[in-house]
Amino acid sequence: MDTTGKVSMNARAPKGTADMLPDVARAWEHLQRTAQTLFARYGYEPIYTPIFEHTEVFTRGIGEATDIVSKEMYTFEDKGGRSITLRPEGTASVVRAALERNLVANGQSRKLYYAGPMFRYERPQKGRTRQFWQIGVEALGMAEPSADAEVIMLLMCFFEELGIPRANMRLLINSMGDEACRPAYREKIAGFIREHDAELCEECGRRAETNPLRAFDCKNPGCCKVMAEAPLLRDELCDKCAAHYAAVKELLDGLGVGYEEDPSLVRGLDYYTRTVFEVQVDAGLGSQNAIGGGGRYDRLMEEYGGPATPGLGFALGFERTLLAMEAAGVTVLGPALAEVYVARVDDSLAGAAFAIAQELRDGGIAAELDHQGRSLKSQFKQADRLGARAVVVVGPDELATGAVTLRDMSTKDETRVSLDTIAERIKTLLG
């Protein structure tokens, strides 16, 4: 209890979450608008799936042995005794929805995009939060390498459209193989890990049994040294996967997109087959330098009991993208909070000012007025603060003749304007 007798509460947002205050929220809306416009040019439609799903959607889709599923999920039992999980990513949900709602039956294809919060119980640090925001796309039904090249291009073009220079970005690509070539490789890596068990950390030792490919992701210097000598999947791809990968690279080469092949890029989700990719930015980001990533998941829908349906996509993280934009000197300016401020000389004119502001808003103009009984001087200050380009001054004498004074805030010119034409005059002034 505090001194007022009220029971004190923890008034802080939970660890790893952040309130999106107006400047950041404006940037988030800017990213969503940019995505809507750009993604539509590539034929994508929006989709919104629930923020929580039956836990199984993620355990089966992402894989039991991944860090996400084994350590990072927000899972709870709902009042009906069901195991529910806050989504840690969007792909599993979109594929679940596509199967449930028959979006890609009979060999159809569908391009879908989404934007929203995701949840992972990770150790918070710069660019890593427990609730974070992603924009993602999923292209379902397309197996051809051109679909891979298109998705990768879209991600790169999106970042460029936001003002992140190509030179700041590193595009990494790899192929994860498929059910024909990966199982044998997996065994090979597991054997390699067992052979080097003494030189590897405890977790990598365990990975031989659970998820051997993840040993490539370990940050422990000793493990990095050992894994640098490990056999690479690139050298063990079956003919079909090798041809698919070669075709993706050829298309990217044809478009002049620079990329680096990173044979140790395995990504943290088990659903991937064939192409995987990641975009990293060093400037302004610490160790969490992946601003976006994705890949192909041709077996995911079958994992859910559906028909064999190829798919691929990417997701980008809003917080890290914003850091990359800041490092590149890009600022997202919002629109002025008011184009026009309607000031009144005294409170007896409050009703008239209120009606004028409403009329201007009805006419499509962003108009603000005082609701706190401010003096005329402080109404002008407020107009300045909001970035208003003009102030309409409602005074008793002018109003009696059906007019107001219009002040251009940049030139300081003042003109008497009839109420009938005020909206038009303001539109001209705003250009």
Give me the residues that bind ligand HAM (CB under 6 A), please: 89-91, 120, 122, 127-129, 132, 134, 136, 138, 268-269, 290-295, 313-317, 319-320
| Parallel, antiparallel or unpaired: strands 169-175 and 260-261 | parallel
What's CA 345's distance to the chain center, in Å? Answer: 47
Closer Cβ to ligand HAM, 124 or 387, answer by number: 124
Smallest gap from Cβ 40 to ligand HAM, in A, equals 19
Which residue, 128 or 425, is less far from ligand HAM as judged by CB?
128
The Cα–Cα gap between 276 and 293 comes to 8
Burial class for 16, CB neighbours closer than 10 Å (0-12, 13-18, 19+): middle
Name the residue with the smallest CB distance to ligand HAM: 317
Q: How far is the CB of 131 from ligand HAM (least distance, A)?
A: 8
- 137, 95 in Cβ contact below 8 A? no
The least distance separating ligand HAM from the CB of residue 406, rounded to whole angstroms, comes to 48
Structure tokens at 170: 């590193």
Give the angle subtended at the CA of 83 by the CAs of 79 and 85, to the nearest 5°. Answer: 105
Smallest separation (angstroms) from ligand HAM to the CB of 294: 4
Handedness of CA 142, 145, 148, 154 (dihedral sign): negative
With 0-12 / 13-18 / 19 or more C-beta atoms within 10 angstroms meaning exposed / middle / buried, residue 179 is: exposed
Residue whose C-alpha is closest to residue 129's, from 316, 269, 319, 323: 319
Closest to ligand HAM by CB, 296 or 407? 296
Least Å distance between CB 247 and ligand HAM? 19
Closer Cβ to ligand HAM, 290 or 343, answer by number: 290
Identify the three-state secondary structure at position 391: strand
Find the shortest distance in angstroms from Cβ 305 to ligand HAM. 20
Cβ of residue 126: shortest distance to ligand HAM, in angstroms?
A: 10
- Report d(CA 149, CA 138) in Å as an integer: 14
> Which residue bears the tokens 């990173």?
262
Nearer to ligand HAM, 128 or 206 (CB): 128
Q: What's the min distance (Å) between Cβ of 407 and ligand HAM?
A: 46
The minimum distance between CB 125 and ligand HAM, in angstroms, equals 9
DSSP-based three-state secondary structure for 87: coil
Looking at the Cβ atoms of 131 and 405, the one nearer to ligand HAM is 131
Tokens 């349906």 map to which residue? Answer: 309
Least distance in angstroms from the C-beta of 280 to ligand HAM? 9
Which tokens is 383 given? Answer: 């107009």
Report the residue number, 291 or 406, with the smaller CB distance to ligand HAM: 291
Whether the Cβ atoms of residue 189 and residue 212 lie closer than 8 Å to each other: yes
Given the complex with ligand HAM, which of 316 and 357 has the nearer CB atom? 316
DSSP secondary structure letter of residue 128? B
Q: What is the rounded CA–CA span in Å between residue 213 and residue 183? A: 11
**Of residues 122 and 326, the one with the C-beta less far from ligand HAM:** 122
Structure tokens at 276: 């995987």
Query: At closest approach, how far in Å is the CB of 45 from ligand HAM?
Result: 16
**Under 8 Å between Cβ of 281 and 168:** yes
> Which residues touch 169 (CB under 8 Å, ≥6 apart)?
156, 159, 279, 280, 281, 291, 324
Give the whole-angstrom CA distance, residue 406 versus residue 422: 8
Nearer to ligand HAM (CB atom), residue 134 or residue 382:
134
Nearer to ligand HAM by Cβ, of 134 and 168: the residue is 134
Q: Is 348 helix (H, G, I), strand (E, B) or coil?
A: helix
The CA angle 151-153-159, to the nearest 5 degrees, is 110
